[in-house]
Amino acid sequence: MVDVKYVLGILGQIIFYYACSISITFFNKWSFSSFHFPLVVSFFHMTIVSHVIWLYRTATKGVSGKDEITWNLFFRRVCPTAIAAAVDIGLSNWSFMYITVSMYTMCKSTTIIFILISAIIFKLEKPKILSAVVIALIAFGLFLFTYKSTSFHLWGFILVMAASAVGGLRWVLAQILLQRDSLGLTSTLEFVYYVEPVMAVSILPLALAIEGSDMALSPDFILADRHESLYVLFVVAVGASLALFLTFSEYLLLSNTSSITVSICGIIKEILILGLASTVGKDRLSPINMIGLVVCLSGISLHVYLKYKSNKFKDTKSSSSSSHNTNSKKNTESYELSTFAVANDIERQGLLDSEDSTGSYSNEQVTGRK
């Protein structure tokens, strides 16, 4: 018998996730189109989120009894993951100054390609023909989507594709970090607690080097009165809040369903974003661009289906041996995080992104700063 209360609860969580993810995507596009310092803003997003997570962890530590990780683990595992996340989010936000929401969404979908490549390099995945098919479908779909696109901007395209490439490495490093109980970072909140501050510190030099002088000489700062300054702070705070809510919504949904469910929701979310971008945002898509969209989403859907079949096989196999069950389940959940991160990265753009994102932090969570 269907539990109506449970179903309604899941639908509510999905709507909450969609609201947060779609809102931050269009909010970032709007804010970075008028406020041309995306790296500096990303730094403040990460800093604000870091303090919120710190306050929460400090308040709950007495109950949870969490221990601090070792410095060796911090520098060898946490820092590389955080630096990759910071670069991913920073470049993603920077690209919003040059490309449309539609272009951004499609290009970020290619993160799956780089996750597969990185997973093969780190020997987390074995090369497979179907994986090559997934890569080919997504790549070809992206080619058609950008073919003679009136909204194509070379520098913006380079930025977002670079972000996707670094994002692939980011999620694989997060997977390696999260899949081991001995490292003590299997909790999404713990992961964000350690990674987010390093992300902020990592992006600060890049922000100052690229935007520091322009920001210091900008009339928006030199001639800004109190009201204008408060307005800028308000916009930054709203972006950071959306990033935090997105992380929470992803964690909440993943903890009550599965990463496959979240991945499917991510695909539907991308379709909604593209639909809104073509209506509200007035992005123009030609018939060839639309065919590219369908081909690209087909590749992503095939990837989600293959992971579902793989995880189902692992669950069946692990059930035959209780001693093997715990480890098998852990590895399955860990890779699911990467899958989740793929379909979403849009977003956070400021946070680790989701439980999947790393376990995105749970799964992906580590945000972004979409």
Tens-place pLDDT, residues 222-277? 556 677 778 888 888 898 888 888 877 776 776 666 555 666 677 777 778 777 87
Residues in the chain: 370
Q: Which residues of the chain have pLDDT under 50?
A: 323-326, 328-370
Instruction: Please work out, in degrees rounded to the nearest 5, the angle formed at the alpha carbon of residue 167 by the alpha carbons of 248 and 337.
Output: 45
User: Which of these, 90, 306, 314, lies nearest to 200 by C-alpha position?
Assistant: 90
Position 247 scores a pLDDT of 72
Residue 71 is predicted with a pLDDT of: 86
The whole-number pLDDT of residue 299 equals 83
* Amino acid sitting at position 5: K
- What is the pLDDT at residue 290? 83
Contacts for 237 with CB less than 8 Å, ≥ 6 apart:
48
